Amino acid sequence: MPTIVMASSKGGAGKTTAAVTLAGELARQGLEKGVNIALVDADPNKHSAKWAKKNGCPENLTLYESDESSIIDDIEKAEQENAFVIVDLEGTASIAVANAVSRADLVIILCQGSQNDADEAVKTIKLLRQQGKAFRRDIPYSVLFTRTSTAIVPRTLKFIVSQFTESGVDVFKVSLIEKDAYKAVHSFGGIVNNLDPKDVSGIEVTAANAKAYAEEVKRKLKEIMSGGSDG
Amino acid sequence: MAERAGLDLDDINEDEVDIASLTGPKNPKPKVDRKELNKVSEEAGFVSRQAPRQRRRGGRTAYTQQKNFKMRPDMPELFADVADGLGIKDYELLEMAIQALLAKQKMKDELERFKSITS
């Protein structure tokens, strides 16, 4: 029962998009196999929760609304009742984030291709390393770049990726591309695959990106569960 | 010079991981002491963002019972003016008046009860 936590102490880095996309894609893949997915929303803004309450939310996905004081208990409850737990958090350096990552099997650190995002990502990485030392459990993590372009890779992004990889930080091969379809699911509800092409363009490309992202998450989880770990 | 044919590896996908294979039981994560967790988190700059609970103003009061009764016109204002003049609350004025009356009327039993209630 893996728990995957989306973390970034910078607002707007793409945590909700990453959480909703992963939850939706895992739910889509797991529907016919009886695999249940939990989405825990501990962000006071509750954007993930609003999405999950709209029509089209996968029937094997359960929402848990949470906050700083109950996040650990809510994650543990969700773990008992579901096969996968995905946690969305507020974009600040908060106790809620620290509590959530302490229960994670994988922390996905969201980062846009900017120095500010990278600096905040480093804050989260340092927290994970300190927790790892204090509680003798290395918490696997990986940096996922968001809002990237399919056409070009800016130099700043290339530089930041190289800085992370040279420092031994694991970075996703896939990035979440900037596509309107990712925003559209918050208007229409449901998952990217079920959007209507009359309403949104680029559905196929976005669905393929969502699938590739979920596949890489699953590979990382498989490696973690077999004894190797990223981060 | 003819170009060598390249290796066409672009369309080879890595094997997909069966989602069901990741759902088996696993080693439980060790519990962590929450106070220790908070301490480590705060040292890393991750602090509580919840608004502190509103504190009750003033201490707990012994005056918890409510009694409503009628007064003559203008009496409420006189009552308030007397309390203000003595620098005390309305309910303290009432108690002073009751104590004075009990002593004047030599109602000893009631005066004892008054003292045990207000001590």
Percent of chain A with pLDDT over 90: 91
- The amino acid occupying position A124 is T
**Based on the structure, what is the number of domains in chain A?**
1
Closest CA of chain A from B5, distance in Å: 26
Helix (H, G, I), strand (E, B) or coil at B26: coil
- The amino acid occupying position A91 is G
Cβ of B45 within 8 Å of Cβ of A96? The answer is no
pLDDT: which is higher, B6 or A131: A131
Report yes or no: B51 at the A interface, CB cutoff 8 Å: no
Query: Does A12 score more than 70 pLDDT?
Result: yes
| Residues with Cβ within 8 Å of residue A60, at least 6 apart in sequence | A27, A30, A31, A34, A35, A36, A37
Q: Which of these, A106, A74, A86, A81, lies nearest to A16 by C-alpha position?
A: A86
Q: What is the pLDDT of residue B29?
A: 81
Q: What is the pLDDT of residue B11?
A: 44
The mean pLDDT value for A144-165 works out to 91
Report d(CA A145, CA B80) in Å as an integer: 69
Residue A159 domain flag: yes
Is residue A177 within 8 A of residue A148, CB to CB? The reply is: yes
Residue A160 domain flag: yes
The mean pLDDT value for B23-27 works out to 72
Helix (H, G, I), strand (E, B) or coil at A177: strand
Query: Does B1 score more than 80 pLDDT?
Result: no
Domain region containing A12: 3-225
* B48: chain A residues, CB-CB within 8 Å: 68, 94-95
Nearest residue in A to B42, CA atom: A95
| The model scores a pTM over 0.80 | no
Q: Is the backbone of residue A190 left (phi > 0), alpha (psi -120 to 50) or beta?
A: left
Q: What is the pLDDT of residue A151?
A: 82
Is residue A106 within 8 A of residue A220, CB to CB? The reply is: yes
Report yes or no: B47 at the A interface, CB cutoff 8 Å: yes
Query: Does B103 score more than 50 pLDDT?
Result: yes
Cβ of A33 within 8 Å of Cβ of B19? The answer is yes
* Integer Rg of chain A from CA: 16
Q: What is the pLDDT of residue B55?
A: 57
Residue A70 domain flag: yes
Nearest residue in A to B44, CA atom: A127
Q: Which of these, A128, A117, A87, A15, lies nearest to B46 by C-alpha position?
A: A128
Q: What is the pLDDT of residues B52-73, one digit of tens each?
A: 665 556 667 888 888 888 889 8
Q: B31 pLDDT band (50/70/90 cuts)?
A: confident
* A131: chain B residues, CB-CB within 8 Å: 37, 40-41
The mean pLDDT value for A90-110 works out to 95
Q: What is the pLDDT of residue A172?
A: 96
* Integer Rg of chain B from CA: 39
Nearest residue in B to A133, CA atom: B40
CATH number of the domain where residue A107 is located = 3.40.50.300
Cβ of B44 within 8 Å of Cβ of A94? The answer is no
Report d(CA B86, CA B44) in Å as an integer: 56
Q: B119 pLDDT band (50/70/90 cuts)?
A: confident
The mean pLDDT value for A32-40 works out to 96
| Residues with Cβ within 8 Å of residue B99, at least 6 apart in sequence | B111, B114
Residue A214 domain flag: yes
Q: Any bridge partners for residue A94, and if so which? A: B47
Of B40, B46, B50, the CB nearest to A69: B50
Nearest residue in A to B33, CA atom: A135
Residue A89 domain flag: yes
Q: What is the pLDDT of residue B65?
A: 84
* B23: chain A residues, CB-CB within 8 Å: 1, 35, 83-84
Nearest residue in B to A213, CA atom: B16
The H or E element spanning position A128 is helix A115-135
What backbone phi and psi angles, to 5 degrees, belong to A117? -65, -40
Cβ of B30 within 8 Å of Cβ of A137? The answer is yes
